[in-house]
Amino acid sequence: MTAHNAILEQNEYRLVLVKAGSQAIWVDRTDGALRLPRVTISRWTRPAEELQLAIELGWRLRTIVLEFLPSKMGSVPCAVMEIMSSGTRDSLTAASIDEFTEEEMISEERERVTAILAGNGSTRGPFSRIGWIQEAMAWMRAEVGHDVAFTGEVRQLNASGGFLLARFRTQAGPAYWLKATGKPNVHEFYITRELAELCPEYLPRQLAAREDWNAWLMEDAGKPVDTWNLPALEMAVASMAQLQKRTMDRSSELLAAGAADQRVSTLRANMDELREYVDEAMTKQTSTKAPRLGTERLRTIFSQLHKACMRMEELGIPDTVVHNDINSGNILFRNAECVFTDWCEIGIGNPFFTLQHLCLLQPRGQEPWSRRLHELYKRIWVEFIDATAIDKAFTLMPPLAILSYLYRRGTLLRSSRRYDSHIESYVRSLTRYLDRTTQDPALLEGLCH
């Protein structure tokens, strides 16, 4: 990577460092000028976690993110961080917020920081106020046992006023994870609680919940694999199949809790509107690196998808949960256990769609594992679904899994975000993939019978 590209792959942040019980901000004073400390982190990473690590490395301070302040276009973003360490470095000094110039902290940022220092940060959510971390640890001790001794090491993976994903390390025993979600993902709290009751062995063990924070406490459940191998992927497939079987006949409860309706009949009913949106997105393509699919080709693709939906419905496969965000980070392993996390994108639909997403985790260059994974999935489901129907579902699965992923909650079709250039580019990419799967000879033969 050239030096120029390395710079483009990084983000600089201004830091507003605050402490409980103080109205001051800890700053750098260079040649008498007041300046917020700055750090640089990699762009395509989790900002909260990377900021914590950068501050610990640069100033040997433990901190947590309280809030990312909205910034003007082109300006250096700003993060408000609470100092958890007892002392501060000699290179940092306390200053009043009134001492900052408009160039260093604009008026909107000043108002937000003033509210946080005054203890009014909770207007942006429970995690944007000083001291929430101490309250959280006291609550966790009360729930899991007052003898729990935290080390003080808290790693935030996600952070904002209403969102949180943090790992709390203990001196002895397991670590704990605290997760909270705000709008528009409030439903994940209720969905996760529902799934934890239906199939607790396939989710991280839940220990407690706080409805006022829309948060739940989990015991550490293991780690993702560094590199996928066939035994690990087989364990993931088997575990997901067993979880899905537990959710048969529970569609109404899960839909009421906030799962998206991705049943095949729903996909079929919204197909014309989806095709029109894809067609519109295709007309805006400017790149010549990939082919632009025209209106007639899209009509053919979606006509085949309509037939595939009809064939899949005829197979009588029961609707279950569809994870919709299957990636290595959301599948955790510990010994012989495999659990699934992050159910924000959950849908109710054909269970085979998640199998397709799992098959795509196979590393490139390996001998295809799909046959082995299909056979395993079939052995688990044949108790409820006819073997011939399962084989037909395997043929219909690839394009319909993409269709389901493209549709998601259906909200994009009626949202202003449908015109976002990055989303339209992603939609075009998925549609080209869809085009390739609908040309598969096995699928075409299946649609003719």
In a domain, 374, yes or no: yes
Per-residue pLDDT at 4? 45
Token pair 């750090």 is found at 39
Distance, in Å, from the CA atom of 35 to the CA atom of 104, rounded to the nearest integer, reads 7
Structure tokens belonging to residue 69: 């302040």
How many other C-beta atoms can be found within 10 angstroms of the C-beta atom of residue 22? 12
Q: Domain check: are 211 and 248 in the same one? A: no
Among 219, 249, 270, the domain-final residue is: 219
Mean pLDDT for back-to-back runs of 10 residues, the chain (449 residues): 54 93 85 85 90 93 92 83 81 88 88 88 84 94 88 91 94 93 93 95 96 96 94 97 96 95 97 95 90 94 97 97 95 94 96 96 84 97 97 96 92 86 93 94 87
In a domain, 265, yes or no: yes
In a domain, 127, yes or no: no
Alpha helices in 284-364 (DSSP H): 295-314, 352-359
Quote the pTM value: 0.89
In a domain, 441, yes or no: yes
121-125 contacts at long range (C-beta below 8 A, 24 or more positions apart): 121/66, 121/67, 121/161, 124/67, 124/161, 124/162, 125/160, 125/161, 125/162, 125/163, 125/182
Among 76, 99, 121, the domain-final residue is: 121
In a domain, 224, yes or no: no
Q: Domain check: are 205 and 262 in the same one? A: no
Q: Is the peptide bond before 174 cis (omega within 30 degrees of 0)?
A: no
In a domain, 311, yes or no: yes
Per-residue pLDDT at 178? 97
Q: Domain check: are 385 and 308 in the same one? A: yes
Distance, in Å, from the CA atom of 257 to the CA atom of 347, rounded to the nearest integer, reads 11
Kindly state the helix (H) or strand (E) to which residue 435 belongs, with its residue range. helix 421-437
CATH of the domain at 154: 3.30.200
Q: Are 161 and 124 in contact (CB under 8 A)?
A: yes
Phi, psi at 180, each rounded to 5° = -140, 145
CATH of the domain at 32: 3.90.79.10
Q: Domain check: are 328 and 257 in the same one? A: yes
Cα within 13 Å of Cα(37), Cβ side: 24
Per-residue pLDDT at 89? 67
Range of the domain at 264: 230-447
Give the single-character DSSP code of 172: S
Q: Domain check: are 213 and 341 in the same one? A: no
Distance, in Å, from the CA atom of 41 to the CA atom of 37, rounded to the nearest integer, reads 13
Q: Helix (H, G, I), strand (E, B), or coil: what is residue 254?
A: helix
Structure tokens belonging to residue 59: 């100033």
Q: Domain check: are 313 and 390 in the same one? A: yes
Among 219, 244, 277, the domain-final residue is: 219
Q: Domain check: are 380 and 275 in the same one? A: yes
Q: Domain check: are 434 and 313 in the same one? A: yes
Q: Domain check: are 200 and 75 in the same one? A: no
Per-residue pLDDT at 248? 95
In a domain, 55, yes or no: yes
Per-residue pLDDT at 6? 47
CATH of the domain at 258: 3.90.1200.10
Q: Domain check: are 319 and 432 in the same one? A: yes
Cα within 13 Å of Cα(329), Cβ side: 5
- Using a 10 angstrom Cβ sphere, with 0-12 exposed, 13-18 middle and 19 or more buried, the burial of residue 205 is middle
Q: Residue 236's closest CA among 100, 97, 108, 330?
A: 330
Q: Domain check: are 84 and 206 in the same one? A: no
Q: Residue 145's closest CA among 164, 173, 169, 166?
A: 173
Q: Domain check: are 90 and 166 in the same one? A: no
In a domain, 91, yes or no: yes
Phi, psi at 387, each rounded to 5° = -60, -40
Task: Tell me how many domains the chain contains.
Answer: 3
Per-residue pLDDT at 3? 47
